[in-house]
Amino acid sequence: MREKTMKKGHLLLTLLAFVCLMGLGTIHANAATVKAKVDVKKFYGIAEQVLQEINKERRSNGLQDLKMDATLTEAAMNIALQKQGGDASVSEPEIYNDRYIYKSVGILGNVDGYDEYEDNLWKETTKGKEPITKHVSKLGKFLYKDDDISSKIGIGIIATDNPTSIPRELNNGSRYNVSYCFLSNDSKHDTTNYNPYVNNGKTVRTQMDLYIDSSNTYLIVDANENCLTPKYAYDVIKKGEKRNAHPGIWENIPDTGAKRFLCKLSNNGASWNSSNPSIVSVDANGNITAKKNGIATVTVRVGSLQATKKYVVSDIISVDTDTLLSLPNWKSKSDIPKEYTGNCYAGGYALEVKNGRITWSKNMKTNKVTRPGKKKSVTKAKKVKGNYYKIISKSKKTVQYVKPVKKNIISVTIPSSIKLNGKRYKVTGIVANAFKNCKKLKKVTIGTNVNSIGKRTFYGCSKLRTIKVKTSKLTGSRVGKQAFKGLNKKAVIKVPKKQLKAYKRLFRAKGVGKKVTIKK
């Protein structure tokens, strides 16, 4: 092996990178670490452009063109990959041995206006490509402009493929997302072992391993779009919408107690599931689909790490005017999921909801605000002489007949009034289904104050043959459907003389059969 020689200024970079790699042996043995995958890209096309710029500079100095060697290029790509990953493992750790004479590695962030928080580099637009090409070319031309000891070169340029607007933080916490490396040897125009690299300007997506200290990090569910509600209780997604999610790593900073985003992880090696796939489904690649209104929790696991996100599906995604965060918006109040708690919109109203129940409401057209109170307590029925009655109005002293105490009653009289708690109450109605399917009931008397009879009151009373109606206050709107359906075919109904004609029409309409006699 040749004795190693380096240009001034390169030694420190190489030693620092070498120290980083030496630390890899200990992190793998830590039981608290979790192995994950990170998506990266190798930019062969930019590397080829950089070589062209280097050779232009060399020609102006009367030097021979350098050639891009495939072996050196892959080694340079992997060195850049290690530099970018910090503690990440790559396929060829031996590339940092003494076989390469000239070696320079570095990292790029906000270079010449390149915005590290945007995804222009991935799209390889002018804004994304030119600043990187310019910066790396400048360094390459400096390294090789007057050096005539090498004919082969390898150039590695890689970047982490993280989402828009989130810092790309690998590099042991630094905020740089592009790493590069130059490799060359001391063969001096020896092309015997030259292995030409043919790529035609491609960009290649690949992955690297990242070893995460699980004791100091936590997992999140992130996506290409996140529409979080106030307090981040839910992520709102529109019915029919599709999103691509991925696991992300945040770390705690022990000294300050702060938290920061570390990096986006690949879905390779992650597992996904949904608590209710009929509402929100998710596949193995983190593709989320909102299928119908409701709430579902999406879970992702990477090794021993786990993260969940609660998605609420609505017809529209609206904005909370106070926080400028997102709120679900449904077409109707009845679409609000029973388990939803928080602010929302539905049916033209701004609402506050707790467990699906509206606690505050504002009409968006009229600005009228209502605060629904607790549900009115149901008045318990009172038992009086074998029958149950319910108070309708204490001020008017009225009650309704509810039902008999015993289902096998044979005869019953609905009185004009009853005495309850020492006070006299008028009996003004009979509730729905009061005598439904009382198969042994034969005789009924309806008092003079009854002005309403609920639906199916005497439904199915097949032995009921005698009904005496004393009240003259019944009308079509006050007698429910099928109130008298199913009476005995030989039944006789006696009604007030003046109401005979009207009651015949009324009772027939409410279920009285054609063979039943209605008389005065």
CA distance 395 to 458: 30
Q: Is residue 167 part of a domain?
A: no
Residue 379 pLDDT level (bands cut at 50, 70, 90): low
In a domain, 449, yes or no: yes
Last residue of a domain, one of 267, 296, 312: 312
Per the domain annotation, does 200 fall within a domain? Answer: yes
Q: What percent of the chain has pLDDT over 70?
A: 78
Whole-model pTM: value is 0.55
Residue type, 31: A
Average of pLDDT values for 488-500?
A: 95
Bridge partners of 182, per DSSP, are 104, 155
Same domain? 430 vs 505: yes
| Whether residue 183 sits in one domain with residue 291 | yes
Quick check: 4 pLDDT over 60? Answer: no
Look at residue 259 and give its three-state secondary structure: strand
- 82 domain-assigned: no
Separation of alpha carbons 174 and 424, rounded Å: 85
Q: Are residues 217 and 271 in the same domain?
A: yes
When comparing pLDDT for 472 and 98, which is higher?
472
* pLDDT, averaged across the chain: 81
130: DSSP letter: H
Does the pLDDT value for residue 118 go beyond 50?
no
**Minimum mean pLDDT range among 138-147, 256-265, 380-389, 511-520:** 256-265
Whether residue 6 is contained in a domain is answered as: no
Mark whether 156 and 302 lie in a shared domain. yes
The pLDDT value given to residue 125: 59
Give a yes or no: residue 103 inside a domain.
Answer: no
Residue with tokens 């360094």: 139
Residues 290 and 322 in one domain: no
Q: Are 228 and 274 in the same domain? A: yes
Provide the β-strand partners of residue 391: 399
Q: How far apart are CA 274 and CA 68, in angstroms?
A: 49
The answer to whether 37 touches 266, Cβ cutoff 8 Å, is yes
Give the CATH number, domain containing residue 426: 3.80.10
**What is the rounded CA–CA span in Å between residue 64 and residue 335?**
74
**10-19, 225-234, 274-283, 495-504: which has the minimum mean pLDDT?**
10-19
Q: How confident is the model at residue 87 (pLDDT cuts 50, 70, 90)?
A: very low
The answer on pLDDT for 456 being more than 80 is yes
Model confidence at 248, pLDDT cuts 50, 70, 90, reads confident
> Is there a single domain that holds both residue 457 and residue 494?
yes
Q: Are residues 298 and 421 in the same domain?
A: no
HEC-encoded secondary structure of 174-218: CCCCEEEEEEECCCCCCCCCCCECCCCCCEEEEEEEEEEECCCEE
- Min mean pLDDT across 40-49, 74-83, 239-248, 397-406 is at 74-83
Number of Cβ atoms within 10 Å of the Cβ of 520: 11
Range 82-108 burial, b when 16+ CB lie within 10 A, else e: bbbbbbbbbeeeebbeeebbbbbbbbb
Measured distance CA(354)–CA(233) in Å, rounded: 13
Same domain, 297 and 331: no
Is there a domain that residue 417 lies in?
A: yes
Q: How much is the pLDDT for 208?
A: 76
Summarised one tens digit per residue, pLDDT across range 299-316 is 999 988 999 999 999 999
In this predicted structure, what is the pLDDT of residue 457?
Answer: 95
Domain stops at, among 368, 389, 409: 368
Across 278-282, 336-340, 364-368, 373-377, least confident range: 373-377
DSSP class of 265: P
The CATH number assigned to the domain holding 291 equals: 2.60.40.1080
| 273 lies in the same domain as 177 | yes
* pLDDT for the residue 374: 55
Q: Are 343 and 320 in contact (CB under 8 A)?
A: yes
pLDDT confidence of residue 110:
46
Reading the block at residue 360, the tokens are: 């505050």
* In the predicted structure, residue 416 carries a pLDDT above the cut 90: yes
Q: How many domains does the chain have?
A: 3
Label residue 127 by pLDDT band (50, 70, 90): low
Q: Are residues 453 and 507 in the same domain?
A: yes
Burial of 254 (0-12, 13-18, 19+ CB in 10 A): exposed
Least confident of 22-26, 66-70, 369-373: 22-26
Domain membership flag for residue 509: yes
Residues 304 and 323 grouped into a single domain: no
Is pLDDT above 70 for 341?
A: yes
Domain, as residue range, for 303: 150-162+172-187+196-312
